[in-house]
Structure 1
Amino acid sequence: MPFETVNVVYRKYDGSLHWHHSALLLGEDEHGVWTGCVAGTLGRKGSEPPVAWPYAFVILFPRDAWWTALFNAEPNRTEIYCDITTVPEWRGDEVTMVDLDLDVIRKRDGRIYLDDEDEFEEHQVRYAYPAEVITSARASADHLMKAVTGYTAPFAAPPRWLDHVV
């Protein structure tokens, strides 16, 4: 069955383009909307040259939550990469959100950590994040650290959606 293609667009708080790429719209479940990319999919950071990602992955766009979650296929050493973002918004065949710097990462060896706190602090000043954005970003990071560390759904096992792109 062929999948519809969607555009995934991450921006920075000032509206500038961050990571963006096409993805396959795989489906929806109780956790949100799932998209996927096969190995070799091209993505771009801003206006930099495209890069080909060597591994397949799926991205979960939850409803009404300040984050997205990327689940990598093996042998990628990063199992889960959660971006703290504004709530993803769907407009036709595009999903867009603002990347708020903080990342919750689980490596395949079991290490789990919060990344880019320095960037979050720097961008609070540079982009003048409102207090509610800072509070929501921190709350989402705290929630994700607990959920990813606790292996709670959807972070308990590789999602079934990966089967569509590997």
Structure 2
Amino acid sequence: MPDLVSVNYRKYDGSLHWNLRMRRLGEDDHGVWLGLPGGGVMRKGYGPMVPIACAHVVLLPRDAWWTAAFNAPPRETEIYCDIATPARWVSSHEVTMVDLDLDVIRKRADGRTLLDDEDEFAEHQVRYGYPADVVAEAEAAGRWLMEAVEGRAEPFGDASKAWLDMVDGERP
């Protein structure tokens, strides 16, 4: 029986956001790695299941204000980082964090790195009343991620390859 983990991203008001179940692959110096083969599903809140065509792995770093998804080809987004509160393990089979809207994305075709959803981040600062320290941590994480992802600093270089190989080609 695979070691499955419920991954629950929430919004600042506590409402359920993106959520899925992933297999625990292991842990290294970068954090905990979870995987989902192509054909797996996720859902937004309590909405319908959304199929995921390509395999991907998620890195949950220790005490960092982000998570990172590394996608198998041919997915056009190679890396997708959610700026979020540090992952909190509710149990060995459930992890949760608050999605703070900002995302850092690296495109596969040309390697461009983008900071996305700055407008949503600004809007949600007002809507949810993000405290100043949360805003500062999110902005600092965005700056750090832009530099690290663009510069291919680990874990944004080759660190994900072995983990992704563990799930690419599997069936959910």
TM-score (ref. length: structure 2): 0.94
Which residue is 1:162 aligned to?
164
Deviation string for 1:91-136 (max 9, x for gaps)?
Answer: 2110100000000000012111100000000000000000000000
Amino acid at match of 2:32: V
Matches within 5 A, 1:75-86: 75-86=74-85
Q: Using the alignment, how far apart are the partners of 1:29 and 1:3 within structure 2? A: 19
Q: What stretches of structure 1 move > 4 A for 4+ residues in a row?
A: none
Q: 2:163 matched to 1:148?
A: no
How many Å apart are 1:139 and its aligned residue? 0.3
Unpaired segments ≥5 residues, structure 2:
none
Q: Using the alignment, how far apart are the partners of 1:127 and 1:159 within structure 2? A: 37
Deviation string for 1:22-43 (max 9, x for gaps)?
Answer: 0000000000000000111111
Q: Using the alignment, how far apart are the partners of 1:53 and 1:107 within structure 2? A: 17
Q: Using the alignment, how far apart are the partners of 2:90 and 2:2 within structure 1? A: 18
Q: Using the alignment, how far apart are the partners of 1:21 and 1:14 within structure 2? A: 19
How many Å apart are 1:159 and its aligned residue? 2.8
Matches within 5 A, 1:1-150: 3-92=2-91, 93-108=93-108, 109-150=110-151
Q: What is the CA RMSD across the aligned residues, in angstroms?
A: 0.8
Q: Using the alignment, how far apart are the partners of 1:24 and 1:67 within structure 2? A: 19
How many Å apart are 1:3 and its aligned residue? 3.2
Q: Secondary structure at the match of 1:153?
A: coil
Q: Using the alignment, how far apart are the partners of 2:129 and 2:161 within structure 1? A: 36
Amino acid at match of 1:164: M
Percent sequence identity over aligned pairs: 60
